[in-house]
Structure 1
Amino acid sequence: MTETYQNYIDGEWRDSETGETFDVKNPADTSEVVGSFQRSSEADTNGAIDAAASAEDEWADTPAATRGEFLRETAKRMDDREEELTETLVREEGKLRGEANGEVNRAIDIFYYYAERALDYAGERKKGAADQNLYYVREPMGVAGLIVPWNYPIAIPCWKMAPALATGNTLVIKPSKEAPNVLRKVFECMDEAAEEVGVPDGVINFVTGGGEDVGQAILNHEEVDTVSFTGSRQVGEMIYEQATDDHKRVQTELGSKNPTVVSASADVQEAAETVAAGAFGVTGQACTATERAIVHDSQYEEFVEALVEEAESVQPGFGLDDDSTMGPHVSESELESTLEYVEKGKEEGATLEYGGERLEGDEYDDGYFVQPTIFTDVDNDMGIMQEEVFGPFVGVTTYSDFDEAVELANDVEFGLSAGIVTDDHTEANRFVDEVDFGVVKVNEATTGLELHVPFGGMNASSSETYREQGEEGMDFFTIIKTVYDDY
């Protein structure tokens, strides 16, 4: 029997007023229903926001040490449930066990990190005139509305929630409908920690449902002071426009079309492994995934051969099976989108070098599995080289000199993560200086991030307002008050 899960509002678990639910299924085996979740209304969301607004003053006045203790106690409970959270993530989103476990541990570490950062983010003293104290303090913005995606359904919510809470904000979070359960379990940990530490009711709120109801209510409500969104460019630009019109502070992290340049000095096998990891890891369902390989023409043929060998070694399957090396797409619509781009690449005249087909038969019939896909003979103005695919999909093109490589890398509207594989450090330094991307990787896959440094994109990949993660991740949730104290 399918279990039905509730929202968390004002310190208690509640059903939606609609009385309606939606099912979440295992993308590797759609006959398995992970759970049923509340199809919440605008009224449900408004109730959560009202609760957050009622608690904001008390939470803002709570000592930083207590806020840090709340985050630390939450992290401990998540750590105790690490395996459960990992399996939950695999079953609802489709990641491999190792990928899911890495994401879960990242979320745990994020809570531990901001538990400590909460203690030393209050402000700073400056040298003023004689007989004057001159200093500034950071104060919380108030109520944070957080709208998060399905592709990292525990890490991304945690890297938004933890700095918001550490700096004294209350929050309402809307998880994706595709993968809400792992975050719901984080809220179970937070609920237990809140009771132990003495956190006021209403500080944290979790509401499931559609963007047209829950997301729109977050944007519309006058008590919401900040909106942080990670997701598609189309939705993010709409959110940015509407929220800024209402004078809310907004942060968006959107899609990208990330390149990896393979230089003439690169080891070809290392380069192929790096590009394959960035393109096919997490089924290509990452905003930092590699979708363009820009290869020096002296390396091109050897590189393509090596990359095809990497793709051939990929074994799609259920994430909890030990022999699986790539999971399914999260949903049928995501699978269909990738397959549509395969057809688009053929129509544009590119060569389908490998893959591009939905997998069928045996264990694949009830899942959303696709082969990793490689296109060659591509031009940079093709749609498959300009538009985000969000699947295990990469196009390979060539360059003849370094200036051309940088020009090709920058020749997209996006700018999130870019990489170069090279043994020439001068070339690497030039690449870092000249590419217009918020994250630059040298001899690493474009995917993978450290939690204690800033993360964010440029151009159409971001609102370019505030960075996430690290100490800078706290800036979005605070406003500065400068004090002149003459004595």
Structure 2
Amino acid sequence: METTLTGQTFKNYINNEWVNSNSEKTIKSINPANTEEVVGYVQSSTNEDLNKAVEAAHNAKKSWRKAGQAARGQYLYKAANILEENLDEVAETMTREMGKTLPEAKGETARGVAILRYYAAEGMRKEGDVIPSTDKDALMFTKKTPLGVVGVITPWNFPVAIPIWKMAPALVYGNTIVFKPATEGAVTAAKVVECFTKAGLPEGVLNFVTGSGSIVGQSLIDHEKVNAITFTGSETVGSNVAKSSAARGIKFQLEMGGKNPVIVAADADIDKAVEAVISGGLRSTGQKCTASSRVIVEEEIYEEFKEKLIDAVQKITIGDGLQEGVWMGPCASESQFNTVKEYVEKGRAEGASLLYGGEELTDEARAKGFYITPAIFEEVTNDMAIAREEIFGPVIALFKAESLEQAIEAANDTKYGLSASIFTSNITSLLEFVDEIEAGLVRVNAESAGVELQAPFGGMKGSSSGSREQGEAAKEFFTETKTVFVKGV
């Protein structure tokens, strides 16, 4: 792999060749911690580039299916080893490109290695079941078969983990791929693709095309030779994926964010709850789909919790994620930076009380980056934008609840249902929360962000299409079930 990032140009990868786009244009990726630094350039691709990638994947799908699950798993083991060998470089690229602190970037890359090994092992696991037949002389069984060509569309906030948790199961279960990453994370994505290419995947199995969502993304969604789409990103695009896929009768998988609540019950360990809210809400600069953005606290401990939260937030160090001791980096892009500032102003305008933060940092050390202090609001009502809309930034809204029942009702008052957590020492309360909360990921005495790779991940309501990613659940999306009945002649 190349070790110099500044100014390097990354090509598309189509049919096992690194190629320039037909447009002969590139897109610049800048460092959000220092906008004067160019991390690299990626291709500004055209419909023609996308068509070539889909055609390559289409032509490769039969031979890749016939390679067998065990053989496909071996490629993933090789890719895992290569990614592990290049972990520091990939992580540093991630930090430079989207601002995540280096320890977080290393953790995400290590998670990518673990995901690859998990699905590599799927190569030796069962791919069907034997079912008793009413005919004693017959054999009946099920067999999992791949979908064909899968379009993979990913966001910038987890540029290693999310592509891998989509591509690894898609590949091991026999599908070929056309991968379109968000442009803000495309240099990091190219580094991930390099690991797959060095693992020796056959021609056309994995194809990588960068460019705008309106051109490349839309063409991928609409392409007649694409058999399924797995997407993580905005509601607007996700809705379009659903409509287009449904119209063509193909499978689609959507993860579209959340407005994730944390309930702090009166009997909670307040210090642990504060620590988890800060970690879950502000790590990665709040740019996680599972980030804690609404904190609902029972009124008898509300003031104590609020004071401890503000005291802890004031101690957060903000700066370049490559620097030792920095806890929170910049917003990932100017667009995201402006969005966060706009929501801070919306909160004020709608009558919420800004307790702390929401200030742009313009001192000499941070003047060239997209830095903002975490914002903590109170006196927030559920009809306010900061209570209802996903901000994807370091903004936390505090709510006061008279009872656990009121807290759960407030937590469920959202169109989203991705993740939720509660802090309590009462088993009755936690069981009530688990039963009543409308979220796909439910955590007790733990932050709302995060999921283990071997467990199903996905949301309810407007957060998801209903299917689950990761763990064994991924097989259900990336395969079809074929029932086979065999009778002797």
Q: TM-score range by the shorter chain?
A: over 0.9
Task: Give the % identical residues.
Answer: 43
Match of 1:115 among 107, 111, 120: 120
| Structure 1 residue 200, shift from structure 2 partner | 2.2
Match of 1:419 among 413, 418, 421: 421
Alignment partner, residue 29 of structure 2: 24
Q: Does structure 1 retain, via aligned residues, the 8 Å contact 2:71–2:123?
A: no
CA distance in 1, matches of 2:259, 2:196: 36
Match of 1:399 among 391, 398, 401: 401
| Paired AA for residue 402 in structure 1 | L
TM-align CA RMSD: 0.9
> Which segments of 5 or more consecutive residues in structure 2 lack a partner in the other structure?
1-5
CA distance in 2, matches of 1:161, 1:375: 39
Alignment partner, residue 473 of structure 1: 474
| Structure 1 residue 293, shift from structure 2 partner | 0.3
The one-character-per-residue Cα deviations of 1:198-254 (angstroms, maximum 9, x if unpaired) are x32000000000011111111121110000100011111111111211212110000
| Paired AA for residue 175 in structure 2 | N
Match of 1:211 among 188, 210, 213: 213
Is the partner of 2:184 in helix, strand or coil? Answer: coil
Query: Which 4+ residue blocks in structure 1 deviate beyond 2 angstroms?
Result: none
The one-character-per-residue Cα deviations of 1:351-378 (angstroms, maximum 9, x if unpaired) are 0000011111112111001100100111
Alignment partner, residue 157 of structure 2: 151
> Which segments of 5 or more consecutive residues in structure 1 lack a partner in the other structure?
none
CA distance in 1, matches of 2:47, 2:235: 24
| Structure 1 residue 274, shift from structure 2 partner | 1.1
Map residues 12-51 of structure 1 onto 2, 5 A cutoff: 12-51=17-56
Alignment partner, residue 334 of structure 2: 332
Alignment partner, residue 3 of structure 2: none
Is the partner of 1:335 in helix, strand or coil? Answer: helix
| Structure 1 residue 118, shift from structure 2 partner | 2.4
CA distance in 2, matches of 1:255, 1:188: 28
The one-character-per-residue Cα deviations of 1:402-439 (angstroms, maximum 9, x if unpaired) are 21111001000000000001111211111011001000
Match of 2:195 among 180, 189, 192: 189
CA distance in 2, matches of 1:251, 1:115: 22
Q: Does structure 2 retain, via aligned residues, the 8 Å contact 1:58–1:200?
A: no
| Paired AA for residue 472 in structure 1 | A
Alignment partner, residue 74 of structure 1: 79
Q: Does structure 1 retain, via aligned residues, the 8 Å contact 2:74–2:123?
A: no
CA distance in 2, matches of 1:175, 1:310: 35
| Paired AA for residue 41 in structure 2 | S
More divergent stretch after superposition (47-56 vs 275-284): 275-284
Is the partner of 1:65 in helix, strand or coil? Answer: helix
| Structure 1 residue 268, shift from structure 2 partner | 1.5
Q: Does 1:483 align with 2:462?
A: no
Is the partner of 2:217 in helix, strand or coil? Answer: helix
Q: Does structure 1 retain, via aligned residues, the 8 Å contact 2:442–2:448?
A: yes
CA distance in 1, matches of 2:442, 2:28: 39
- Using the size of structure 2 for normalisation, the TM-score is 0.97
CA distance in 1, matches of 2:342, 2:193: 37
CA distance in 1, matches of 2:475, 2:81: 22
CA distance in 2, matches of 1:363, 1:154: 28
| Paired AA for residue 459 in structure 1 | K
CA distance in 2, matches of 1:375, 1:365: 25
Alignment partner, residue 253 of structure 2: 251
| Paired AA for residue 142 in structure 2 | Y
Q: Does 1:177 align with 2:177?
A: no
CA distance in 1, matches of 2:260, 2:266: 20
CA distance in 1, matches of 2:365, 2:117: 39
- Using the size of structure 1 for normalisation, the TM-score is 0.98
CA distance in 2, matches of 1:377, 1:366: 34
Alignment partner, residue 382 of structure 1: 384
Map residues 216-295 of structure 1 onto 2, 5 A cutoff: 216-295=218-297
Is the partner of 2:420 in helix, strand or coil? Answer: strand
CA distance in 1, matches of 2:188, 2:363: 29
CA distance in 2, matches of 1:187, 1:291: 33
